[in-house]
Amino acid sequence: MSRPTITTHLDTSATPAWLMNKVRTIADRAAAGNLRACPHLATTPTRCAAAWAPDHIACPTCFPLLDPQGAEDNTCDRCRREVDTLNLNLAFCGPLLYAYGLCDFCMTTIDLEAP
Ligand SMILES: [Zn+2]
Ligand SMILES: [Zn+2]
């Protein structure tokens, strides 16, 4: 596993604080060398991360390998409630594509702060 480098250009005006905090956690872990990375990051400009796999980073090709495990598959990444159906969301923060799942309630109140 190679040590990833993430340079984020964060637009805090458009992104809710709870989501920014999650993205910052990924960037901090990368800076500290605490992320597991796929071996292709040196050859692709895009880095993919997901709320349900906070210790991983991957290229777009390897991104499907970050499948949620167990209950995480049905847990809203904002309110942490378990629901039947999650809505997949993607946020671009500079070169980082960040995926997260929201329940129907949070999907329609995305601009609210974390509960
Ligand atoms: Zn890869
Ligand atoms: Zn929710």
**Ion ligand 2: protein residues whose beta carbon lies under 5 Å:** 76, 78-79, 103, 106
Measure CA 90 to chain center. 8
- Looking at the CA of 40, name the nearest ligand: 1
* Å from CA of 93 to ligand 1 middle: 19
Return per-residue pLDDT of the chain as tens, 115 residues: 455 554 444 455 567 888 888 888 888 998 898 999 999 988 988 999 999 888 899 999 999 888 877 767 789 999 999 999 999 988 888 888 999 999 999 988 756 565 5
Q: What pLDDT does 104 receive? A: 92
Ligand positioned closest to the Cα atom of 36: 1
Identify whether the C-beta of residue 27 lies closer than 8 Å to the C-beta of residue 35.
no
Q: Are 42 and 4 in contact (CB under 8 A)?
A: no
Instruction: Determine the distance separating the centroid of ligand 2 and the alpha carbon of 45, expressed in angstroms.
Output: 31
pTM for the full model? 0.78
Backbone angles phi, psi at 49, to 5 degrees: -140, 160
Distance 41 CA to ligand 1 centre (A): 6
